[in-house]
Amino acid sequence: MRVQRAFSHNCSFNIQQASLYNLPYKDEIFDIILCNQVLEHIPDLLNALCELYRDQGNINICKLCSSYPASVVK
């Protein structure tokens, strides 16, 4: 539904699927990273977060939303 709505407003975007452990993008390519309700399903969380950080580079916006308790993420 949201995709159809975006197309109706002439928004341009590209949907891709990739492994969070080995993202097929150059370093520092993203302006913003949004990871919503995904982290609780990732078995190797530390490696996944390292890969997200590699792609983010020098940009200071990285929003990670999860239902993980803080003690699990530490």
Is there a contact between 14 and 42 (Cβ–Cβ < 8 Å)?
Answer: no
Determine the pLDDT at residue 74.
47
- pTM for the predicted model, two decimal places: 0.53
- 21-74: pLDDT as tens digits: 888 888 777 766 666 777 778 889 888 888 877 756 555 555 666 665 554 544
Which tops the pLDDT comparison, 25 or 2? 25
Domain boundaries, the chain: 18-73
At residue 24, the pLDDT reads 85
pLDDT computed for residue 32 by the predictor: 67
Sign of the dihedral defined by the CA atoms of residues 71, 51, 31, 57, in that order:
positive
